[in-house]
Amino acid sequence: MIAILPLFLRFLPYLILVGALFGLYEYEQHRCNVACENQKELADSVSKEYAEYKAKEAQIVAGLASAWDQKRQEAEKSASEKETAIAQSFSVLQDRTRVAGADDHSYADGTVRLYDDARASAESAGTAGKSPEAAPAPSSSTKEYIVALYEWAAVCKARVDEWASFYQSLRPK
Protein backbone atom coordinates (compact mmCIF):
# COMPACT_ATOMS: atom_id res chain seq x y z
CA MET A 1 0.00 0.00 0.00
CA ILE A 2 2.88 2.29 0.68
CA ALA A 3 4.13 1.58 -2.80
CA ILE A 4 0.88 2.80 -4.25
CA LEU A 5 0.94 6.05 -2.28
CA PRO A 6 3.77 7.66 -4.25
CA LEU A 7 2.13 6.54 -7.47
CA PHE A 8 -1.18 7.96 -6.26
CA LEU A 9 0.44 11.25 -5.25
CA ARG A 10 2.16 11.41 -8.61
CA PHE A 11 -1.17 11.09 -10.50
CA LEU A 12 -3.16 13.13 -7.98
CA PRO A 13 -2.91 16.42 -9.93
CA TYR A 14 -4.14 14.62 -13.05
CA LEU A 15 -6.99 13.05 -11.13
CA ILE A 16 -7.93 16.45 -9.70
CA LEU A 17 -7.75 17.94 -13.20
CA VAL A 18 -9.96 15.18 -14.65
CA GLY A 19 -12.39 15.57 -11.75
CA ALA A 20 -12.49 19.34 -12.20
CA LEU A 21 -13.06 18.97 -15.96
CA PHE A 22 -15.80 16.43 -15.36
CA GLY A 23 -17.38 18.78 -12.78
CA LEU A 24 -17.23 21.68 -15.24
CA TYR A 25 -18.71 19.48 -17.97
CA GLU A 26 -21.61 18.43 -15.73
CA TYR A 27 -22.19 22.01 -14.58
CA GLU A 28 -22.26 23.25 -18.19
CA GLN A 29 -24.56 20.42 -19.29
CA HIS A 30 -26.96 21.21 -16.47
CA ARG A 31 -26.88 24.93 -17.24
CA CYS A 32 -27.46 24.32 -20.97
CA ASN A 33 -30.26 21.87 -20.30
CA VAL A 34 -32.01 24.32 -17.99
CA ALA A 35 -31.61 27.13 -20.54
CA CYS A 36 -32.87 24.85 -23.30
CA GLU A 37 -35.89 23.84 -21.23
CA ASN A 38 -36.58 27.49 -20.44
CA GLN A 39 -36.46 28.35 -24.14
CA LYS A 40 -38.79 25.44 -24.96
CA GLU A 41 -41.24 26.61 -22.29
CA LEU A 42 -41.04 30.15 -23.66
CA ALA A 43 -41.61 28.93 -27.22
CA ASP A 44 -44.55 26.82 -26.10
CA SER A 45 -46.13 29.71 -24.20
CA VAL A 46 -45.61 32.05 -27.17
CA SER A 47 -47.16 29.57 -29.59
CA LYS A 48 -50.09 29.08 -27.20
CA GLU A 49 -50.60 32.85 -26.92
CA TYR A 50 -50.39 33.16 -30.70
CA ALA A 51 -53.02 30.45 -31.14
CA GLU A 52 -55.28 32.24 -28.64
CA TYR A 53 -54.71 35.52 -30.47
CA LYS A 54 -55.58 33.93 -33.82
CA ALA A 55 -58.76 32.43 -32.32
CA LYS A 56 -59.78 35.82 -30.91
CA GLU A 57 -58.97 37.47 -34.22
CA ALA A 58 -61.16 34.95 -36.06
CA GLN A 59 -64.01 35.63 -33.63
CA ILE A 60 -63.64 39.38 -34.10
CA VAL A 61 -63.59 39.04 -37.89
CA ALA A 62 -66.66 36.80 -37.82
CA GLY A 63 -68.43 39.25 -35.52
CA LEU A 64 -67.58 42.19 -37.76
CA ALA A 65 -68.75 40.33 -40.86
CA SER A 66 -71.99 39.39 -39.13
CA ALA A 67 -72.55 42.95 -37.91
CA TRP A 68 -71.77 44.34 -41.36
CA ASP A 69 -74.23 41.95 -43.00
CA GLN A 70 -76.92 42.70 -40.43
CA LYS A 71 -76.52 46.48 -40.80
CA ARG A 72 -76.50 46.17 -44.59
CA GLN A 73 -79.72 44.16 -44.53
CA GLU A 74 -81.33 46.67 -42.17
CA ALA A 75 -80.26 49.55 -44.42
CA GLU A 76 -81.59 47.80 -47.54
CA LYS A 77 -84.91 47.07 -45.82
CA SER A 78 -85.20 50.66 -44.61
CA ALA A 79 -84.35 52.03 -48.06
CA SER A 80 -86.89 49.74 -49.69
CA GLU A 81 -89.57 50.85 -47.24
CA LYS A 82 -88.76 54.52 -47.84
CA GLU A 83 -88.83 54.10 -51.61
CA THR A 84 -92.20 52.31 -51.37
CA ALA A 85 -93.58 55.11 -49.20
CA ILE A 86 -92.28 57.73 -51.64
CA ALA A 87 -93.78 55.89 -54.60
CA GLN A 88 -97.14 55.65 -52.83
CA SER A 89 -97.18 59.31 -51.87
CA PHE A 90 -96.23 60.41 -55.37
CA SER A 91 -98.75 58.07 -57.02
CA VAL A 92 -101.41 60.12 -55.28
CA LEU A 93 -99.88 63.28 -56.75
CA GLN A 94 -99.72 61.70 -60.21
CA ASP A 95 -103.40 60.82 -59.96
CA ARG A 96 -104.20 64.38 -58.93
CA THR A 97 -102.33 65.75 -61.95
CA ARG A 98 -104.31 63.50 -64.28
CA VAL A 99 -107.58 64.60 -62.67
CA ALA A 100 -106.55 68.27 -62.76
CA GLY A 101 -106.57 68.24 -66.53
CA ALA A 102 -104.22 69.43 -69.20
CA ASP A 103 -101.61 72.14 -68.86
CA ASP A 104 -101.76 75.53 -70.34
CA HIS A 105 -98.88 74.49 -72.56
CA SER A 106 -98.15 71.17 -74.05
CA TYR A 107 -95.00 69.73 -75.58
CA ALA A 108 -94.45 67.75 -78.69
CA ASP A 109 -94.33 63.99 -78.19
CA GLY A 110 -90.64 63.96 -79.18
CA THR A 111 -89.73 66.45 -76.45
CA VAL A 112 -91.69 64.57 -73.80
CA ARG A 113 -90.12 61.28 -74.92
CA LEU A 114 -86.69 62.92 -74.63
CA TYR A 115 -87.47 64.07 -71.07
CA ASP A 116 -88.81 60.65 -70.12
CA ASP A 117 -85.72 58.93 -71.57
CA ALA A 118 -83.45 61.34 -69.70
CA ARG A 119 -85.32 60.68 -66.46
CA ALA A 120 -85.15 56.90 -66.98
CA SER A 121 -81.41 57.16 -67.69
CA ALA A 122 -80.88 59.22 -64.56
CA GLU A 123 -82.84 56.73 -62.47
CA SER A 124 -80.72 53.82 -63.67
CA ALA A 125 -77.40 55.71 -63.34
CA GLY A 126 -74.97 53.97 -61.07
CA THR A 127 -76.43 50.51 -61.55
CA ALA A 128 -73.73 48.75 -63.52
CA GLY A 129 -74.86 46.86 -66.57
CA LYS A 130 -78.46 47.95 -66.25
CA SER A 131 -79.90 49.88 -69.14
CA PRO A 132 -82.71 52.36 -68.59
CA GLU A 133 -86.13 50.81 -68.59
CA ALA A 134 -88.45 51.70 -71.42
CA ALA A 135 -89.97 55.07 -70.79
CA PRO A 136 -93.66 55.08 -70.02
CA ALA A 137 -96.05 56.28 -72.62
CA PRO A 138 -95.22 59.93 -73.14
CA SER A 139 -97.56 62.40 -71.59
CA SER A 140 -97.74 65.90 -72.76
CA SER A 141 -98.54 67.22 -69.30
CA THR A 142 -95.93 69.42 -67.72
CA LYS A 143 -97.54 68.77 -64.35
CA GLU A 144 -97.05 65.02 -64.65
CA TYR A 145 -93.46 65.50 -65.71
CA ILE A 146 -92.71 67.83 -62.80
CA VAL A 147 -94.32 65.46 -60.28
CA ALA A 148 -92.27 62.58 -61.72
CA LEU A 149 -89.15 64.72 -61.48
CA TYR A 150 -89.84 65.52 -57.83
CA GLU A 151 -90.49 61.86 -57.12
CA TRP A 152 -87.14 60.95 -58.65
CA ALA A 153 -85.46 63.67 -56.57
CA ALA A 154 -87.11 62.35 -53.40
CA VAL A 155 -85.92 58.80 -54.14
CA CYS A 156 -82.37 60.06 -54.76
CA LYS A 157 -82.36 62.06 -51.53
CA ALA A 158 -83.67 59.04 -49.60
CA ARG A 159 -80.95 56.81 -51.07
CA VAL A 160 -78.20 59.28 -50.16
CA ASP A 161 -79.61 59.66 -46.65
CA GLU A 162 -79.69 55.87 -46.27
CA TRP A 163 -76.07 55.56 -47.39
CA ALA A 164 -74.99 58.27 -44.95
CA SER A 165 -76.97 56.66 -42.13
CA PHE A 166 -75.55 53.22 -42.96
CA TYR A 167 -71.93 54.39 -42.93
CA GLN A 168 -72.49 56.44 -39.77
CA SER A 169 -73.85 53.33 -38.06
CA LEU A 170 -70.60 51.51 -38.80
CA ARG A 171 -68.51 53.98 -36.85
CA PRO A 172 -67.43 52.79 -33.41
CA LYS A 173 -69.33 54.41 -30.59
Q: Residue 70: which domain range?
A: 4-106+141-170
- Residue 29 to residue 25: CA distance in whole angstroms: 6
- pTM value? 0.47
Domain count, the chain: 1
Tens of pLDDT, residue by residue, the chain (173 residues): 677 877 777 888 888 888 999 888 888 887 778 878 888 889 899 999 999 999 999 999 999 889 889 888 988 898 888 888 888 887 877 777 666 665 556 666 666 666 666 666 666 554 444 443 444 444 556 777 777 777 888 888 888 888 888 888 877 76
Residue 71 lies in a domain: yes
Residue 147 lies in a domain: yes
Which of 157, 147, 136, 42 shows the shortest CA–CA distance to 100? 147
Residue 155 lies in a domain: yes
- Residue 135 to residue 152: CA distance in whole angstroms: 14
Contact 106, 140 (CB under 8 A): yes
- Chain center to CA of 79: 20
